[in-house]
Amino acid sequence: MTAAVSAVRKPVTLHRLREMHAQGDKITMLTAYDATFARLVDEAGVDCILVGDSLGMIVQGHSSTIPVTLDEMAYHTRCVARGNRTAWIVGDLPFGSYQESREQALRACVALMQAGAHMVKLEGGGWTAETVHFLTERGVPVCAHLGLTPQSVHALGGYRIQGRDEAGAATLRKHATELAQAGAAMMVLELMPSAVAAQVQADNPGMMTIGIGAGSQTAGQVLVLHDMLNITRGKLPRFVRNFAAEGGSADDAIRRYVAAVKDGSFPDEAVHAY
């Protein structure tokens, strides 16, 4: 998709994303934290931009996402919204902004949506289903997040693959179904066996599952932009593919990512899955 084509692309809506999922068209998502990269990602044809609390590590230099505040998330969401033209924007609710109560979660959603987010994302299952129901009843589109949930990294014992044993897989499937029934329209599945992610999608066919280290059977894929451009320093997870390796500009690399997700060549189960 050229910049000229992207310039006339109709804004991506929740209805359009659901149509894509129903038609088997893979959904593409990348992170962005500022106006410049948001514009680049949008013009390359990415369907969804995630303003992730991963900015705590990528932009701010923290060792986890936990220090990120709601004010900082709103600031970066405003930046992305200014640069974006047509992509669907998902804003992360940071640690401490929704755990206290449903009402606290709603106030946090108001802050992100007034900043330009079209949908909010929150982590975890079980108790979160009630919060998701409360939010969706009030017109807030919600993306859930299961598997490795970075805000719970200390409770999980580090960045570990989730759902490897039968009990863990059953819990993930149970939580996913509860969140879908509560009204979550989308769900990020992070760092889990591809077979478990495939089961989650099969259990909830209307749910748009977005995988990151969860195999190829999800409805779409997401990566951290800096990772797939090979900007991030240090060892990257095996589920990351360096789309800048073939040369060209960052724009070229993002377009290769979009094409690879759409045609099913990324992720490769033999290379990027667990």
Q: 217 by DSSP, 3-state: which?
A: coil
Specify the pLDDT at position 1: 43
CA distances (Å), origin 243, targets 22, 24, 37 = 28, 23, 16
Task: Collapse the DSSP code of 94 into the 3-class scheme (helix H, G, I; strand E, B; otherwise coil) and give the result.
Answer: coil
Q: Tokens standing for 163?
A: 């759902």
Per DSSP, what are the bridge partners of residue 29?
48, 222
**Packing angle between helix 102-115 and helix 70-83, nearest 10 degrees?**
30
CA 239, 240, 245, 250 torsion: positive or negative? positive
Q: How far apart are CA 123 and CA 188, in angstroms?
A: 9
Cα 255 from chain centre: 18
Q: Map residue 40 onto helix, strand or coil.
A: helix
Q: How far is CA 160 from CA 2, 154, 199, in A?
A: 38, 11, 20
Model pLDDT, residue 261? 98
Integer Cα distance of 45 and 89 in angstroms = 13
The rounded distance, in Å, linking the Cα atoms of 61 and 54 is: 10
Q: Could you give the 3-state DSSP secondary structure of residue 20?
A: helix
Residue 7 has a pLDDT of: 53
Count of alpha carbons within 13 angstroms of residue 4, beta-carbon side? 0
- Which residue numbers are catalytic? 190
Give how far Cα 133 sits from Cα of 63, 89, 104, 219, Å: 32, 21, 14, 22
Residues 6 or more apart in contact with residue 103 via CB below 8 angstroms: none
- Per-residue confidence in pLDDT tens, the chain, 274 aa: 444 444 579 999 999 999 999 999 999 999 999 999 999 999 999 999 999 999 999 999 999 999 999 999 999 999 999 999 999 999 999 999 999 999 999 999 999 999 999 999 999 999 999 999 999 999 999 999 999 998 887 777 677 899 999 999 999 999 999 999 999 999 999 999 999 999 999 999 999 999 999 999 999 999 999 999 999 988 889 999 999 999 999 999 999 999 999 999 999 999 999 9
